[in-house]
A and B are shown apart, each in its own frame.
Chain A
Amino acid sequence: MNKPVDVLIIGAGASGAAVAWSLADTKMHILCLDQGGWMSQTEYPSTGRDWEARFYGDYSPSPNIRARPEDYPVNDDNSPIKVVNFNGVGGSTVMYTAHWPRLHPSDFRVKTLDGVADDWPIDYDTLAPFFAENDRIMGTSGLSGDPASPLTDPPMPPQPLGRSGAILGQAMNKLGWHWWPSDTTVATMDYEGRARCINLGHCTPACAQGAKASTDITYWPLALRAGVELRTHCRVREIVTNDEGMASGVIYYDKDGVEQFQAAEVVVIACNGIGTPRLLLNSASKHFPDGLANSSGLVGKNLMFHPYSQVYGYVEQPTDSNRAPPTCLWSKEFYDTDLSRGFVRGYGIQFGRGAGPVFEAVASEAKGILPWGADHHRVFRKLNGHRIAASAICEDLPEEHNRVTLDPVLKDSHGIPAPRIDYTISENSAKMMEHGIARAKEVLAAAGATDICVNSPILYGGWHLLGTARMGSDPKRSVVNEWGRSHDVKNLFIVDGSVFVTSGGVNPTSTIQAIALYVADQMKQRLANLFD
């Protein structure tokens, strides 16, 4: 029999780690369950000569391809964008690019400003102190003063522009576009026990140097020292409720596959935009026949992905290729609504420095620009080490038909129903993507690039999993209230990307973590009457 805890957090990723650390100063008994285990930096791909090959196998961003025991399958056959994530302590911060923009203040007011979707029940200023606190703990690098982005104050200097950044910066100056070195969570100097970046280049499938912030090496050491308990290889099957309609705990499978019950006074879900609705829907019961916290019917609906339109090409001069972090610059030139473009809202652009030789060969052969036969060698030498890329991160608007449900057949290794994704790219998003492709081609042309290739959408580009348990003040139109508490179950909180009302046009992890810290702060301020 497990001893009851005060707070049970499900998921040790970006948001679960942040909320655990923040709540630790209450001295409550806090337990986090994660379906995965601790990662070992010595086993990360960039430590071996097969470092690129592992991206197609055990370090694929797709859980369906990677298929580690910690992963659960996702039926995304009915989606042009496939789900990518990582499961383990640190969650998808183990496997992300560390690109670190924030949502803009205007992103919280899309209904007021542009007449679409809904305004958030909170605003940027509410989150501002939590963005700053999160930047300090994750450890960000960047250059303050971007005239087109919210003001940030990164504790470390930006990554070098490098060859690729200079080529792209020159091109955007020719066009008169905005650009700026990206804020990132890559340490550019030794920082809080993390060694500085030495440009392994292969950042996304986990950083062997530990320079890239993932919550297993940022928040978790702090939270554990503060007394939080983290139990690994424990997969939660369902949240259990009592006759009063309150969460009483969870049923999970421990590392030996044995079913366990864990009682808790408060349950916090931090499983992001696919795992969270999956868990809520799997927690249907007599009192909650349509899934837990689902009186609105919106659990799983309004899935937003950020369709990516990627354009890349090849310049004559050498680029940084794989010998630098992939994060480089961003542009907010097309971020805000301009209806003359034929769509509402906009997109950020994220620029890439290049690729390694295996990735270059595989991608170019598949695109048909790297031939078989005698000419292979000449063409490969023209391509390899000369790539630059621009990706439009298009703001996806919420649509209820884009959703997560439970697959009637597919199950994970514990027999728990797996999520099914039904998603289509909207007409507005499609127009935005076309615009992004055209503009990306312009900037690559200005850089002198040739052999232009397009990936639109990026097939395995479902990194950003948002909107499936949205935040709002109206219980009929939202799943959680303006401070993350379920409208239906008053001791159940959600702190991950599923609470996003809209998606903005930037990578969301910084905002997800700011929201997690904000919800934790709200909980602490309301401890005396948390369930009122």
Chain B
Amino acid sequence: MSVETNLTAAQRDDLRAVAAMIIPASTEYNVPGADDAVIQADMLATLGRDAPAVSAALDHLARLAGQPLARLDPARRDAVAKEFRASGGPAAATLVRVVLQCYYRDDRVLRSLGLELRPPFPKGYELEQGDWSLLDPIKARPSTLRRTS
């Protein structure tokens, strides 16, 4: 579903900046931030039907910031981000979701989480049986099905 995103250069800069605010890089967990070039490229390549909402969200963000987000001092940037999330409605929610869905399918991130780098199909997963003796007290109950007469 790769399509031309039509985001402006300024919008792309703000997208990268806000993505880094949502998920910054971490040396502790050995993961990139959501502003990582590969993750950003994934976002732009797969925006698809979300492009209008993300563009609208970035316009809203630009209005709140008054200048490129990255140029704001940290305190002002945090304030703008809070206001953006609180007042941005469905468009802001879409932008955040796009950031998260691309971040949490990145190989480096999944590896850090201990998850396999593959889709569910065709390998699937093992599901343990669990302790069926837990059901014994319920099996011992008399029928409680409500009578109709």
Contacts and interface: CB of A to CB of B under 8 A. Distances in A.
Interface in A104-158: 104-106, 108-109, 112-113, 123-124, 143, 145, 147-150
Contacts, number: 173
A123 B48 CA distance: 50
A416 interface: no
Given A50-B46, A166-B131, A173-B137, A200 B121 contact: yes
Contacts of A231: none
Interface string B31-61: 1000000000000001011100000000000
A336 B100 contact: no
Contact of A106 (B104, B122, B148): B148
> B interface, how many residues as a size bin?
35 or more
A459 to B, nearest CB: 12
A163 B142 contact: no
A149 B145 contact: yes
Interface in A355-401: 357-358, 361-362, 365-366, 372-374, 376-377, 381, 384
A303 to B, nearest CB: 25
B144 A160 contact: no
Contacts of B93: 366
B145 A160 contact: no
B21 interface: yes
A53 B130 contact: no
B124 A209 contact: yes
Interface string A197-208: 111111000001
Nearest to B130: A161
B131 to A, nearest CB: 5
Interface string B122-149: 1111111111101101110111111110
A150 B65 CA distance: 61
A46 B119 contact: yes
B61 to A, nearest CB: 13
A47 interface: yes
Interface stretch (A13-21, A88-96, A178-186): A178-186
21 contacts: A52-B104, A56-B101, A57-B1, A58-B1, A104-B145, A147-B145, A150-B145, A161-B131, A161-B132, A178-B138, A178-B141, A180-B135, A198-B123, A335-B146, A336-B146, A357-B115, A358-B101, A365-B22, A366-B96, A374-B26, A377-B23
Determine chain B's interface SS by DSSP, over half rule. loop
B72 interface: no
Interface in A282-318: none
B21 to A, nearest CB: 6
Interface of B: 1, 21-24, 26, 28-29, 31, 46, 48-50, 81, 85, 93, 96-97, 100-105, 110, 113, 115, 118-132, 134-135, 137-139, 141-148
Given A106-B148, A147-B143, 19 more contacts: A47-B119, A49-B105, A51-B120, A57-B48, A104-B145, A108-B148, A112-B148, A162-B128, A173-B137, A198-B123, A199-B125, A208-B120, A209-B121, A323-B127, A324-B127, A357-B104, A358-B100, A372-B21, A381-B29
A165 interface: yes
Contacts of A322: 120
A112 B148 CA distance: 8
- Of A178, A335, A374, A377, most B-chain CB atoms within 10 Å: A377
A165 B105 CA distance: 27
B23 A376 contact: yes
A106 B24 contact: no
A257 interface: no
Contact of B22 (A149, A180, A357, A376): A376
Nearest to B29: A377
Contacts of B1: 50, 57-58
Nearest to B118: A49
A47 to B, nearest CB: 5
Nearest to B81: A372
A200 B120 CA distance: 5
A169 interface: yes
B120 A46 contact: yes
Interface string A52-91: 1100111000000000000000000000000000000000
B24 A373 contact: yes
Contacts of A366: 93, 96
Nearest to A331: B138
A320 interface: yes
A413 interface: no
Contacts of A197: 124
Nearest to B93: A366
A356 to B, nearest CB: 8
A159 interface: yes
A49 B124 contact: no
A357 B139 CA distance: 36
A365 B95 CA distance: 12
Given A53-B46, A160-B130, A362-B97, A113 B23 contact: no
A221 interface: no
A79 B146 CA distance: 33
